[in-house]
Amino acid sequence: MTERTAISPTRQEDFPEWYQQVIAAADLAENSEVRGCMIIKPWGYAIWERMQRELDRRIKAAGHQNAYFPLFIPLSFLEKEAEHVEGFAKECAVVTHHRLEAKEGRLVPGAPLAEPLVVRPTSETIIGAAFARWIQSYRDLPLRINQWANVVRWELRPRLFLRTSEFLWQEGHTAHQSAEEAEAEALRMLRLYEGFLREMLALPAMAGEKTPRERFPGAVRTLTLEVLVQDRKAIQAGTSHFLGQNFARANGITFLSPEGHQEHAWTTSWGVSTRLVGTLIMAHSDDNGLALPPRVAPTQIILLPLIRKEEERAAVEAACGRLLAELSEKSYAGEPLRVEIDARPLAGGAKNWEWVKKGVPLRVEIGPREVAAGTLSVSRRDWSPRERLALSEQQFVANVEQTLAEMQQGFWERALAFQKSHTRRIGSREEFLEFFTPKDSENPEIHGGFAEVPWAGDTALEDKIHEEQKVTIRCIPLEQEPASGTCPFSGRPAKHRVLFGKAY
């Protein structure tokens, strides 16, 4: 008999709907009245705050300072860099008026703006204008700035966390004396993201460079981290761009060199967004709901008092309070344990399932039987929901740090094994088509993965493959063997190996 699951449909039955149901069951977010925009609810925002806090720490440790720049960008700023404005033009929201006026019982825009304002899709141009004022000499370099902000990119096919018209992110911007220094900075920040994904979110990522077709508008090079999730599609989890002198020329970012020459600075930009929450869900969760690696979980341990009769209350609450006090003295990964007591007057089963669906790593039930026996009933999110282990309080407290560390490592190992098992070296067109063709008509969403293919670098052919197969080159891996083999599509000698995949 198949065990009942908390989420219906399951991943195998309907992955896109399963994803939406996990978000709903964990109470992470919901669609707002503005199409394409989401409301991030407290549990979902707490996960983002965990990411934000740790990333902010790492970014500052790497020598960057936080600042804030305007939400509105003059249209003329975007027009300065032609490739940049062309790349974002279709996604821009534009403010053309200020003031509302009542007319025939309705509010209508009143006064036109002298110049339209674009609602921030990204900040290279307006930050570039500030950099042009702030940088005068080589002594002002390198300049390293980061901001936490919201951005707007008008989305035609929204999906919570993955693609929304408004989302939250951080964007770093730096300026340097030389191309070599700027390129090194772009790679350094990509590796910072990679370490954060690995250590905090237990997400293995393929690090690589985008092809010219997929490059950030206006960049010279775009570096990316691609994560494979459970329907075998790729999610771009973070990017870092070497912008060359393109934006410096467009915005007049110059400096006096040590030799007394006026030169344009070399710049970078890089960022990650609330898309990481969606990536986390799709990579780790199961048919019982959200599953959170301990380091990113807002609550790592939930204590569930089981009180059926009023006369049981004092003893059970005392046991919970004592355990909370003991756990509060413990730490994991350099931080105090995050422990809560759920004292709501709900049935134990209902409370237990709620925290299963929210993804909390450890659930501890304490009722009159546990009090009498001097034990705790412990469940782990990486076990079956009904699996419990009876432990003494001393055993649990003494081993809790090790338990959380084992769980964190387990999330990483499962995700890495999944990535490896669905990454295939492919040498022929027929094998490529077979790899990306759905095998099961009842589960057409789940197929493919990363296809590692010899590639000769033909952009027109890249366009054709995308049009016909809905597959794109996710990246040119940074770590790869010397070029060898023949491109299975053009028949020409390969320049390098690339990773193809279907993407969100």
> Where exactly are the structural domains of the chain?
15-71+131-284, 301-416, 424-501
- Amino acid occupying residue 68: Y
Superfamily, domain 15-71+131-284? Bira Bifunctional Protein; Domain 2 (3.30.930.10)
pLDDT at 442: 62
Q: Give the tens place of pLDDT for each residue, 240-282.
A: 999 999 999 999 999 999 999 999 999 999 999 999 999 999 9
Give yes or no for a contact between 222 and 103, defined as CB atoms under 8 angstroms apart: no
Residues 6+ apart with CB under 8 A from 55: 170, 196, 272
pLDDT at 348: 80
pLDDT at 441: 62
Architecture of domain 301-416: 3-Layer(aba) Sandwich (3.40)
Q: Which residues of the chain fall short of a pLDDT of 50?
A: 1
The C-alpha angle with vertex 142 and arms to 56 and 172, in degrees rounded to 5, equals 35
Buried b (16+ CB within 10 A) or exposed e, 368-389: bebbeeebbbbbbbbeebeebe
| Tokens found for residue 236 | 């771009």
Residue 440 main-chain phi, psi, to 5 deg: -120, 115
pLDDT at 83: 84
pLDDT at 443: 65
Whether CATH 1.10.3470.10 fits 424-501: no
Same fold across 15-71+131-284 and 424-501: no
Residue 418 main-chain phi, psi, to 5 deg: -65, -45
pLDDT at 4: 79
3-state secondary structure 37-59: CEEECHHHHHHHHHHHHHHHHHH
**To 10 degrees, the CA torsion angle through 410, 414, 420, 422?**
-170
Task: Give the other-Cβ count within 10 Å of 360's Cβ.
Answer: 26
